[in-house]
Amino acid sequence: MDAIILQLLNGLDKGSAYALIALGLTLIFGTLGVVNFAHGALFMIGAFCAVTLQKIMGLSFEQVDPTKTDFLGKPLVVKVPYVESWFGADFGAWLINWQVPLSILLAIPVMLIVGFVMERGLIKHFYKRPHADQILVTFGLAIVLQELVKYFFGANPIQTGAPSQFSGSMDFGVLLGFDPMAIMYPYWRLVYFLFAAVVIFGVFAFLQFTTFGMVVRAGMADRETVGLLGINIDRRFTLMFGLAAAVAGVAGVMYTPILAPNYHMGMDFLVLSFVVVVVGGMGSLPGAVAAGFLLGILQSFASMNEIKSLIPGIDQVIIYLVAILILLTRPRGLLGRAGVMEE
């Protein structure tokens, strides 16, 4: 039982990441009708926003610390981060400790700008083009973005730590009455799950309760009619693209303590996120979220030793196997509508 709960928890954070990326993908597909293969790259750029902030925070100068000596007895030369000298040692250290969550403040404007530029500069010209063209051009863009990041940040993963308050693990089992140490769950993963839940809830609330969201939902259902009503749907869709980019970006930022960012993480997540979107049903927002968590949790269960010994290799294929079964039994995914992407 405790093992099952542990796997459930382990599935949540991966599922959260799938759900957040898939949410943006399906939002873009539903509103703009564009298959965006560069969406994984947006997730990756978000993660590298955190890396950038870490680099900025880490900028330091050398200073002789008269109070300390090295083992030869000479005064020690220490590196002092600029932020500590500007904002005072305490506040500076706090900034450095909290750099990952703080990166969200950097990531949101960056991602919105990246999203707007992408949509206005490139995607907009591909609304009416075949899906194959959209896939190719966004795939090309994803490669370009990925190579640029590799050029500036190198090919190796870059560690970024969670704030020290969250660096440990929590003994989840005790809360539920199990033995101590039975279910150890890293705090940050819990934070990530809660964060994802808030973002997902926020996006849904935004679409449900604002006029803007209403127009967008109407546009997803029937673009032409909404256009005929004299509503400038394109501008709203541009904003939607920026929003989707921002969601992917902050998902990337917060994921950095779980997975050290590397330049190809976007592609790695893209394929699975696409499977998630299709399993959920193209253009269905609740479908994307449900499928994201479902596949994340299933993957985590499949990697339990008991199950692996029962069905060898199941952990390697579970996501794809489930995707195939769902697509064969429910032609349009879990919650998809008819007629989408079937031409």
Partner 1 sequence: MKMLGLSNKDTTFLLIVVGLTLLTPFLLQPFPVASGGNMFNAGYPDLMQRFAIFGIFAIGFNILFGLTGYLSFGHAAFLGVGSYSVVWMYKLLGYNVVPGLILAIIVSALFALLIGYISLRRSGIYFSILTLAFAQMMYNLAYSVLTPLTNGETGLQVYSNDPQVLRGPEHLDAPHFFNLFKMTDSTKLTLGGWEFTLSAGYYFTAVIAIIAFYISLRIFRSPFGLMLRAIKTNQTRLNYTGINTRPYTLAAFVISGMYAGLAGGLLAAMDPLAGAERMQWTASGEVVLMVILGGAGTLMGPVLGAGFIKYFENIFSKINDGVLHQWFAWMPDGLENVIITISHFFVGKSWHLTLGLLFMLVVIFLPGGLVEGGQRIAARFRGRKAKDDATHAAKTQPSAAE
Is residue 72 within the footprint of partner 1 (CB under 8 A)? no
Shortest CB 327 distance to partner 1, Å: 6
Give the residue with the Cβ less far from partner 1, 233 or 335.
335
The Cα 303–Cα 315 span in angstroms is 5
The Cα 3–Cα 186 span in angstroms is 15
Give the residue with the Cβ less far from partner 1, 21 or 57.
21
Q: Which of 191, 215, 282, 291 binds partner 1 (CB under 8 A)?
A: 282
Q: With CB under 8 A as the contact rule, which of the stretches 47-55, 71-79, 142-150, 160-168 interacts with partner 1?
A: 142-150
Q: Which of 56, 112, 122, 239 binds partner 1 (CB under 8 A)?
A: 122
Q: Which of 65, 147, 179, 222 binds partner 1 (CB under 8 A)?
A: 147
Q: Which of 76, 143, 218, 239 binds partner 1 (CB under 8 A)?
A: 143
**Strands 169-171 and 75-81, how do they pair?**
unpaired
Is residue 62 within the footprint of partner 1 (CB under 8 A)? no
Site for partner 1 in 12-41 (CB under 8 A): 35
Query: Is residue 46 within 8 Å of 248, Cβ to Cβ?
Result: yes
Q: With CB under 8 A as the contact rule, which of the stretches 176-184, 219-227, 229-237, 322-330 interacts with partner 1?
A: 322-330
Helix (H), strand (E), coil (C) string for the chain: CHHHHHHHHHHHHHHHHHHHHHHHHHHHHHHHCCCCCCHHHHHHHHHHHHHHHHHHHHCEEEEEEEEEECCCCCEEEEEEEHHHHHHCHHHHHHHHHCHHHHHHHHHHHHHHHHHHHHHHHCHHHHCCCCHHHHHHHHHHHHHHHHHHHHHHHCCCCCCCCCCHHHCCEEEHHHHCCCCCCCCEEEHHHHHHHHHHHHHHHHHHHHHHHCHHHHHHHHHHHCHHHHHHCCCCHHHHHHHHHHHHHHHHHHHHHHHCCCCCCCCCHHHHHHHHHHHHHHHHCCCCHHHHHHHHHHHHHHHHHHCCHHHHHHCCCHHHHHHHHHHHHHHHHCCCCCCCCCCCCCC
Is residue 298 within the footprint of partner 1 (CB under 8 A)? no
Is residue 288 within the footprint of partner 1 (CB under 8 A)? no
Q: Which of 62, 224, 306, 343 binds partner 1 (CB under 8 A)?
A: 343
Give the residue with the Cβ less far from partner 1, 72 or 132.
132
Is residue 154 within the footprint of partner 1 (CB under 8 A)? no
Give the residue with the Cβ less far from partner 1, 147 or 179.
147
Shortest CB 295 distance to partner 1, Å: 11
Is residue 294 within the footprint of partner 1 (CB under 8 A)? no
Q: Which of 199, 275, 294, 335 binds partner 1 (CB under 8 A)?
A: 275
Site for partner 1 in 159-218 (CB under 8 A): none
**Strands 184-186 and 169-171, how do they pair?**
antiparallel
Is residue 312 within the footprint of partner 1 (CB under 8 A)? yes
Binding site for partner 1 (CB under 8 A): 35, 122, 125, 129, 131-133, 135-137, 139-144, 146-148, 150-151, 267, 271, 274-275, 278, 282, 312-313, 316-317, 319-321, 323-324, 327-328, 331-333, 341-343
